[in-house]
Amino acid sequence: MLELNFNDKKTVQKIAEILKESENILFITGAGISAESGLPTYRGIGGLYTTGTTEEGIPIEEALSGQMLKKHPNVTWKYLSQVERACYGKKFNTAHLIMANLEKAKNRVWVLTQNVDGFHTQAGSKNVIEIHGNFHYLFCTKCDFQENRESYTDLEFPPQCPKCNSFIRPDVVLFGEMLPFKKLEVLEKELTKGFDIVLSIGTTSVFPYISQPIVAASRLGVPTVEINPDETYISNIVTYKISSPAGVALQEIWNQLGK
């Protein structure tokens, strides 16, 4: 098992001391945390993002766009199913569990995640903003039909609604689509209340709505943490940086908390 280096261990002690006194905590998570469950990261899904183009000769971002889903749902569902197959059989990991356990132990803990795998809720977290949606929730594009589906294995592509025969789709944000307004409202409401500490885990923080909570907290003097093996947009902004995988760092923090 991977271990933290000496500097990261010292940093963990400082973070644990802050968390002991914190009752209002925000976690921001990205693909890096689920990669430890064996899920491919953005660029690794089926190798699609490596070449940038699909078998149809179009960019993968175009194939997985809201516009393509409307015009040619068979194309979009072809690649949605490939993504789902790459994720099939995977489950939440230690990092997800520790966040869920902290929610039980503290007054107010929220998770803002870009991931669509549903691992945070499966691990037991209640206060989760799945800003890009959840792959397991399907709904009809015409009527009120919706369902929670563990896998796509028995679906015909593109799948049709059993009530009205229109196409159904996963409740995720495809390329070119707007972020869900209600979820943005919840995020804004919770950010307005404020947090005692904000932690960014396994995300490159390239989207403004993902980096902004860190930037805003930093300006207010609120402690901020990044757990990521790589350097990112916020690496020079955060109060504390741990260059290790999420599970390793969070387990050490959890141990320091005496849990």
Q: Which residues of the chain have pLDDT under 70?
A: 1-3, 5-6, 41-52, 259
Q: What are phi and psi of 58, to 5 degrees?
A: -115, 155
Catalytic residues: 132
Q: Give the pLDDT of residue 50.
A: 56
Q: Give the pLDDT of residue 100.
A: 98
Q: Give the pLDDT of residue 125.
A: 98
pLDDT digits (tens, 9 = 90+) for 111-166: 999 999 999 999 999 999 999 999 999 999 999 999 999 889 889 899 999 999 99
**Structure tokens that stand for 123 in this block:** 């691990």
Are 207 and 215 in contact by the 8 Å Cβ rule? The answer is no
Q: What are phi and psi of 178, to 5 degrees?
A: -80, 150
Cα separation, 124 vs 116, in Å, equals 16
Cα separation, 94 vs 120, in Å, equals 11
Cα separation, 33 vs 41, in Å, equals 9
Q: Give the pLDDT of residue 87.
A: 81
Cα separation, 78 vs 89, in Å, equals 19
